[in-house]
Structure 1
Amino acid sequence: MDHIDKEIVKELQLNAKISMKELAEVVHLSSPAVIERVRKLEEQQVIVGYHAHIDFKKIDRHISAIILFESKDCKALTNFCHNHPDVLECYRVAGEISYIVKLATHSVESLEKFIDASMPYGTPSTNIVLSSHEKNVIEPFPVED
């Protein structure tokens, strides 16, 4: 990736709905040149998708939590989480904790139901999120000469 590709990736992270014409103006290239670069970045799977960022509170998901598991059966826990509507992300990790789940739900009661339903798969440790900060732009590593 050269500096123009990096700028394209940065701009698309800031606004995935930017038009190719506007993107071309920002990076000082023609629209066809930008379209070709974006296509190549997609083919190389540098860009793997375009997403809408949702405000969970506006869709009645006021409680966010990170749940750490000492899992007895990671595959079963993975399946359980994959099929649970409140789960946003899940990670199998190495160490004392074997699984991390991020979820957004509508109430403390629904969080309790998730915890109860997940207990056959391991021992959960629940952390309710009070506030958060999420990076919207990830800078690629510098190009090495």
Structure 2
Amino acid sequence: MDKIDEHIVRILQENAKISMKDLAEAVHLTSPSVIERVRKLEEQKIIEGYHAHISLKKINRPISAIVLFESKDCKGLAKFCHNHPDVLECYRVAGEISYIVKLATHSVETLEQFIDNSMQYGSPSTNIVLSSYENKVIAPYTIEDKTLF
């Protein structure tokens, strides 16, 4: 990726619905050039897809939680999480904790139901999310970035 591709990726992360004409103007290229660059970024799987960001509160899922599991049945827990409608993300991790699950649900009662139903797979530790921050624009890591730390 060159600097122009990085700029294209940043702009698309900020606004995936931008027209190719407006994107071309923003990076100072012709529309056909930008269309070709975006196509190549998609083929290389740098751009994996385009998504709508949904308000969890407005779809009646105001309770978010992070649940840490010491699992005694990893495959069972993974299947349970994959099939549960409240689970947004599920990570198998190394260490004392074997799974981290992010979920969004309707109420404290439905959160309790998730916890109760998941206990057969291991010991959960539940953390209700009070506030959050999500970095929506992710830049590629470069050697120069090491100087930031």
Q: What is the TM-score normalised by the length of structure 1?
A: 0.97
Q: State, as a whole percentage, how many aligned pairs show the same letter.
A: 77
Corresponding residue number in structure 2 for 1:31: 31
The alignment of Structure 1 onto Structure 2 pairs a total of residues equal to 144
Residues 25-84 of structure 1 show CA distances to partners (whole Å, capped at 9, x for unaligned) of 000000000000000000000000000111100000010000000001111111000000
1:76-115 superposed matches below 5 A: 76-115=76-115
Counterpart-to-counterpart distance in 2, 1:138 and 1:56: 22
Corresponding residue number in structure 1 for 2:64: 64
Q: Could you say what secondary structure the match of 1:89 adopts?
A: strand
Unpaired segments of 5 or more residues in structure 2? 145-149
Corresponding residue number in structure 1 for 2:125: 125
**Contact 1:69/1:98, CA 8 A, preserved across alignment:** yes
The residue type equivalent to 1:34 in the other structure is V
Give the RMSD, CA atoms, in angstroms: 1.0
Counterpart-to-counterpart distance in 1, 2:2 and 2:142: 9
Q: CA deviation at 1:142?
A: 3.1
**Contact 1:16/1:50, CA 8 A, preserved across alignment:** yes
Q: Could you say what secondary structure the match of 1:42 adopts?
A: helix
Corresponding residue number in structure 1 for 2:139: 139
Q: CA deviation at 1:98?
A: 0.3
Corresponding residue number in structure 1 for 2:45: 45
Q: Could you say what secondary structure the match of 1:120 adopts?
A: helix
The residue type equivalent to 1:15 in the other structure is N
The residue type equivalent to 1:107 in the other structure is S
**Contact 1:69/1:100, CA 8 A, preserved across alignment:** yes
Unpaired segments of 5 or more residues in structure 1? none
Q: Could you say what secondary structure the match of 2:53 adopts?
A: coil
Corresponding residue number in structure 1 for 2:2: 2
Corresponding residue number in structure 1 for 2:147: none
Q: What is the TM-score normalised by the length of structure 2?
A: 0.95
The residue type equivalent to 2:104 in the other structure is A
Q: CA deviation at 1:143?
A: 7.4
